[in-house]
A and B are shown apart, each in its own frame.
Chain A
């Protein structure tokens, strides 16, 4: 970092310590430095704070600490701050924050984006920052007019005072910046909100529709090299030897770097690097995973489930489980899933004389920055991590072991040139860190009237948290909560429920995938509840209603989805409906799916969703996230599966790892059923219900029960 940047940084740290909205004149964010600065807008700050800068021209720039990867934080978070700032929305811009401790998640303590938490964890922080800035602007105007601040008010980017006095925020920003930051501010009551709760168009739409938006993949620079990595063919395999002669003969290849996890080919451009990799001859010690297959893993999960597991939930009265009139016993299998974001993984690293710049679309800035420092063998303070737009992520860019960031750093350190590491789609599909495969083994006892009398539920599969730095914090008494969430904490009043966990190390790297454990839990829970309703001869909505009497939010979402979908009304021949409801990330989503079979294959025509995310900050954005979560979950439910044979992943690209295509998108209707004064999670909670809603509709249509995902693996016709 050069001297001005260091000064700016020190000033930033001093002034912002412990306070969210500190105004500091001349603060320059520690990004846009280094040789690839052209990728960033120049920053001429007048009166910035950690979260907002107001220019002399009245432009309000909100600094967004979270990654923008589709979920709309470049719009929803500025809305929260702008509400309290009382500025003109037409003058609001937004930009991504650099990696810095000031931008830590308010609940999780480090800078990160995940768990459908961007809006709710920023809620108090950004409202306070907006109110602080507004208070300072009002005070600055009052001093200039020699009146008391209480006689002034802020409105649409102006401070209005006695006798038609009026000054714009742009006129006041310099004076306001010299004032102390108020320690306590009054926030608006929810009833006075004018921006929050109003459907608002995205601020990043024009740049994204015209190709101007810059993603990590778009980093460029005169000396910037491209690296691709030949990864091991089997997870955990080690490099034995290589023949790099043919690689080096490829025009444009500059370096071949042997690494623990593969061989990096560095070249002047992507195509040369890729051709270099194609020419590589490498021998591997395949290690203990060389014989792993999907079948062998399924057998291991089934074997594990025979023994008693670790209890995640215990029945109050185990003896009650012996008098069932009928028992539904089922094994459910769900596969590994790749995240497959549209933008393949990438990371750009440049070592400078005084440290390093890392450019990456990261969900885990805090973790990635520390991992980069370790891989580069420099102190963490010397790593400037710049967050760029990411083309999707769904959890893949939040890796506790920072896999592709570490790779990029290692290549840059060893090749001694600025490097953009690019994963190809094949690397992405075969690169591990999947949603874990699981086995659920469940027995549901019904009494003579068809009511649930007991529920015994065993889950077997890999742990996402085991072996990560999060394990000591999050794994309690051997239970990885991400393995059992959505089951052990079901909102249904299920008597005599036992849940047990069998953690099995599959030798396959696993990770959180949009909605994490809920992605499979909802499928199992909601198809079983449906099956219990059918066994009882009851309507699926009515049966659920009786079990949700103590859960008004869940019940309300269920009722609204059913009503809006016309539950029980006649459908065209060959069509059927199914319903599911699931609670996750503090929110509830109920969905009714309408399906048919087209040439024997399931086709989803319409989905009616009722969604309770508390106070919806941007209803238009929430609707988009519900559509998105359904499309993402539906593609996986119908087609998604990563399988292994001889230790090798059998899929490689979008032809054999099928995702939802345009013509397969159902018409999704979204009804917001929440309210109140605080927001809850939005990005993920609409993913879990789609698989069971579709599976239940297919049962209604065909009489067949799905026990396995993806649904296309079954013969339905």
Chain B
């Protein structure tokens, strides 16, 4: 058994210890906002926060996260990062970022982690922080604008 916390709730996971966190979230906890894209840590669709850091849940076995705190897209609005998450969500809507939308939970989680660590990122810093999140619809340009927009909104707040 592996015990960890998801969105503030204790989880006692009794499945295989090598189960990636992604599948524990999706298949066992029903949290399908975190997406499966590659299974190899190459696309970022499965990004969650683990003790505050953006990680790829598809290559994070549950055995490796005992005692740790996981926050998913479903829970990010109920954490101390809620103001950042809200600013990101609003900027995403205002800049009309999404297309198919499948990668967007991962993009949002990466963007929230970036803006938490660096409230005023440059283009180059955005590129570096977001380069692991693929989008086949090519929403990158609007994501970049939305991150700047969220950053500006947070500075005003």
Residue ranges of A at the interface with B (Cβ–Cβ < 8 Å): 68-72, 201-202, 204-215, 217-218, 220, 226, 251-252, 269-272, 275, 340-344, 389-394, 422, 424-426, 620-621, 624, 627-632, 653-655, 659-663, 665, 667-668
Bound-state CA distance A620–B142 (Å) is: 11
- Docked Cα-Cα span, A213 to B103, in Å, equals 11
- Given A624-B142, A627-B142, the answer on whether A343 and B35 have CB atoms closer than 8 Å is yes
Tell me if B34 is interfacial: C-beta within 8 Å of chain A.
yes
The listed residue (B15, B27, B35) touching A226 by CB distance below 8 A is: B27
The verdict on B32 contacting chain A, using a C-beta distance below 8 Å, is yes
For A271, list chain B residues within 8 Å (CB).
15-16, 19-20, 23, 27
Q: Nearest-CB distance from B15 to chain A (Å)?
A: 7
Q: What's the nearest-Cβ distance from chain B to residue A646, in Å?
A: 23
A210 B136 Cβ-Cβ under 8 A? no
Determine chain B's interface SS by DSSP, over half rule.
loop
With A271-B16, A340-B136 already in contact, 8 other A-B pairs whose C-beta atoms are closer than 8 Å: A206-B93, A207-B101, A211-B74, A271-B20, A342-B43, A424-B39, A624-B96, A628-B139
Alpha-carbon distance A68/B40, docked complex (angstroms): 27
Give every chain B residue within 8 A of A424 (Cβ-Cβ): 39
Residues of chain A lying within 8 A (CB to CB) of residue B136: 340-342, 392, 394, 632, 659
Q: A271-B16, A632-B136, A659-B136 are in contact. Are A344 and B96 (CB under 8 A)?
A: no
Residue B38, interface by CB 8 Å = yes
Chain B residues closer than 8 Å to A210, beta-carbon distance: 33, 73, 77, 89, 105, 108
- B residues in contact with A272, CB < 8 Å: 16
The answer on a CB contact under 8 Å between A624 and B99 is: yes
Q: Which of A69, A624, A629 has the most CB of B within 10 A?
A: A624
Partner among A217, A631, A668 whose Cβ is within 8 Å of the Cβ of B35: A217
Contact B33 A209 (CB under 8 A): no
Q: Is B55 an interface residue (CB 8 A)?
A: no
Query: In the bound complex, how far is the Cα of B46 from the Cα of A217, in angstroms?
Result: 13
Shortest distance between the CB of B138 and any CB in chain A (Å)? 2
Asked whether any CB of chain A lies closer than 8 Å to the CB of B140, the reply is yes
Closest partner residue, chain B, to A394 (CB atom): B136
Q: Is B135 an interface residue (CB 8 A)?
A: yes
The 6 closest A-B pairs by CB, nearest first: A631-B138, A211-B33, A391-B102, A208-B101, A70-B100, A211-B73
Number of interface residues, chain B, beta carbon within 8 A? 58
Q: Which residue of A lies closest to B146 (CB)?
A: A209
CA distance A125 to B45 in the complex (A): 37
For A620, give the chain B residue with the smallest CB separation: B96
CA distance in complex: A272, B99 (Å): 32
| Residue contact A269 to B143, C-beta cutoff 8 Å | no
A439 to chain B, nearest CB (A): 27
Q: Which residue of A has the minimal Cβ distance to B38?
A: A425
Residue on B with the closest CB to A633? B138
A322 to B103, CA, bound (A): 56
| Neighbouring B residues of A426 by C-beta, 8 Å | 39
Which residues of B sit under 8 angstroms from A629, Cβ to Cβ? 138
Q: Which residues of A contact B130 (CB under 8 A)?
A: 662-663
- State in angstroms the CA–CA spacing of A71 and B20 once bound together: 32
B98 contacts A627, C-beta separation under 8 Å: no
Q: Which of B30, B43, B88, B126 contacts A654 (CB 8 A)?
A: B43
Q: Is the CB of A218 within 8 A of B39?
A: no
Name the distance in Å between B92's Cβ and chain A's nearest Cβ: 4
**Pairs across A and B, CB under 8 Å, 20 listed:** A71-B99, A206-B89, A208-B104, A209-B101, A211-B104, A212-B33, A226-B27, A269-B27, A270-B23, A270-B36, A341-B100, A342-B137, A344-B37, A392-B136, A620-B96, A631-B137, A631-B138, A653-B38, A662-B133, A665-B141
> Is A392 a contact partner of B102 (Cβ separation < 8 A)?
yes
Q: How far is the CA of A343 from the CA of B101 in the complex (A)?
A: 10
Contact residues in A for B26 (Cβ distance below 8 Å): 218, 270
How far, in Å, is A279 (CB) from chain B's closest CB?
13
Shortest distance from the beta carbon of B153 to any chain A beta carbon, whole Å: 15
Beta-carbon nearest neighbor of B75 in chain A: A211
Please measure, in the bound complex, the distance between the C-alpha atom of A271 and the C-alpha atom of B23, giving whole angstroms: 7
Q: Which A residues are in CB contact (< 8 Å) with B117?
A: none
A218 in contact with B100 given A226-B27, A630-B138, A654-B43 (CB within 8 Å): no
Bound state CA distance, A55 and B15, in angstroms? 46
Residues of A within 8 A of B66 (CB): none
A662 to B36, CA, bound (A): 19
Known contacts A342-B100, A391-B101, A663-B131; A205 and B15 CB within 8 A of each other: no
One of A213, A226, A632, A655 near B138 (C-beta < 8 A): A632
Residues of chain A within 8 A of B88, CB atoms compared: 209
A209 touches B98 (CB 8 A): yes
Among residues of A, the one whose C-beta sits closest to the C-beta of B133 is: A662
Q: Which residue of A lies closest to B33 (CB)?
A: A211
B82 at the interface (CB under 8 A from A): no
Q: Does B97 contact A (CB under 8 A)?
A: yes
* Interchain CB contact (< 8 A) of B101 among A70, A624, A630, A631: A70
Q: Is B28 an interface residue (CB 8 A)?
A: yes
A390→B143 CA distance, assembly (Å): 20
Once bound together, how far apart are the Cα atoms of A490 and B14, in whole Å?
Answer: 62
Do A663 and B127 touch (CB < 8 A)? yes
Given A209-B108, A392-B136, A654-B134, decide whether A342 and B97 contact each other with a Cβ distance below 8 A.
Answer: no
* Residue contact B37 to A269, C-beta cutoff 8 Å: no
User: With A and B bound together, what is the CA distance between A72 and B139 in angstroms?
Assistant: 13
Within 8 A of A (CB), among B79-138: 88-89, 92-94, 96-105, 108, 126-128, 130-131, 133-138
B152 contacts the other chain (CB 8 A): no
Asked whether B42 is an interface residue with its Cβ less than 8 Å from the other chain, the reply is: yes
Q: In the complex, which residues of chain A have a beta carbon less than 8 angstroms from the beta carbon of B89?
A: 206, 209-210
Q: What separation, in Å, do the CA atoms of A652 and B121 have in the docked complex?
A: 34
Residue picked from B15, B40, B99, B127, most chain A C-beta under 10 Å: B99
B33→A662 contact, CB < 8 A: no
Q: Are A72 and B99 in contact (CB under 8 A)?
A: yes
- Complex contacts, A628 vs chain B, CB 8 Å: 99, 137-139
Residues of A contacting B102 with CB < 8 Å?
A: 215, 341-343, 391-392
Report Cα–Cα, A457/B89, bound state, in Å. 51
What's the minimum C-beta distance from A253 to chain B, rounded to whole angstroms?
12
Bound-state CA distance A394–B23 (Å) is: 27
Partner of B92, one of A209, A344, A659: A209
A contact residues around B37 at 8 Å (CB): 342-344, 425
Q: Is the CB of B45 within 8 A of A209?
A: no
Q: Which residues of chain B (16-64) have a CB below 8 Å from chain A?
A: 16, 19-20, 23, 26-28, 30, 32-40, 42-43, 45
CB distance from A45 to the nearest CB of B (A): 26
- Taking the closest CB of chain B, its distance from the CB of A514, in whole angstroms, is 10
